[in-house]
Structure 1
Amino acid sequence: MPQDFRCNCPFTSALDVLGDKWMLVIVKQMLIEGKETFKDFTKSDEAIATNILSAKLKLLEEVGIIIKTQRPDNKKTNLYLLTDKGLALAPVLVELAKWSDSNLRDINPTIVNGEEMKFLRTDKSAFTNVLVTKYREKLATTLYNSNL
């Protein structure tokens, strides 16, 4: 099913794909938390309903942000992996985290405040590069193992 876009504005077009409350959460879970199976996503703190999760994963796949493949050691289990288009969202996620850290901590003091946040505050570009590099290494291993 082709994606419907409201207009030709690049900002609005991005929001037409990513603007609901689940899309970037799923990408974040994949990139930062290492989630890659349907079961992984259902066990998350965000508690996404399974019917919504199915729909969002399908849409992310349709627009090329993720691919769906089979687990190398269990062909019955699907893996969801970020594509280059999905990894290109890493700076967006980092900017949102930085904004949240700076602007929402006063109303949500439970926002994570560990070493990773200190690293992000100090050098968000290096933080983003580490996230993407680690994911690409994991992806290469996963794809290599699936071809054995």
Structure 2
Amino acid sequence: MPDDIKADPYAALCPSRQIIAVIGDKWSLLVIPLLARGAMRNAELMRAIEGISQKMLTQTLKRLEEYNLVLRHDYGEVPPRVDYRLSALGQSLADVICTLDDWVVENFAELSGRQS
């Protein structure tokens, strides 16, 4: 998208909608806050996110890396050692997502139809 064109997620053909789809994905919304705690290896993320398959974790990390939200660090060792961390841009997004997470926790009882 050229610099002189403004993002408009309400416009049907605006590429910003693809970014919203990536960051609004349920797995991205779980991976990003975990990485806000610090660098993690693939197996650590798998253990932390119940229900995610290896395939979905790999796809999610690759997509987040493509959008410069996640940085992949390969140590070039044998056996292979790779970890993932948030970029500065990813950290700024994590701050927003963590606020959303806090809101859900605070309002869970009301949202789920239960009394506090």
Superposition CA RMSD, Å: 2.8
Matches within 5 A, 1:117-132: none
Mapping of residues 1-148 of structure 1, within 5 Å: 7-8=13-14, 12-32=17-37, 34=38, 36-71=40-75, 76-106=80-110, 107=112
User: Runs of 5+ in structure 1 lacking a partner?
Assistant: 110-148
Greater relative contact order structure (CA < 8 Å, 6+ sep): 2
The 1:7/1:92 distance shift into structure 2, 3 A limit, reads farther
User: In structure 2, what is the Cα distance between the partners aligned to 1:75 and 1:88?
Assistant: 33
1:86-130 deviation per Cα after TM superposition (whole angstroms, max 9, x unaligned): 001133123212321332134398xxxxxxxxxxxxxxxxxxxxx
Which amino acid is the alignment partner of residue 24 of structure 2? G
3-state SS of 1:104 partner: helix
The one-letter code sitting in structure 2 at the alignment partner of 1:28 is: P
- State how far apart, in whole Å, the 1-side matches of 2:76 and 2:19 are: 33
Gaps of 5+ in 2: 1-8
The alignment covers a number of residue pairs equal to 103
Letter matched to residue 27 of structure 1: I
Give the number of the structure whose residues are more often helix, by fraction: 1
Identity over the aligned pairs, expressed in percent? 23
Q: Which one-letter code corresponds to 1:15 in the other structure?
A: I
1:74 deviates by: 6.4
Instruction: Confirm or deny: 8 A CA contact 2:30 2:49 kept in the other structure.
Output: no
Q: CA offset at residue 44 of structure 1?
A: 1.5
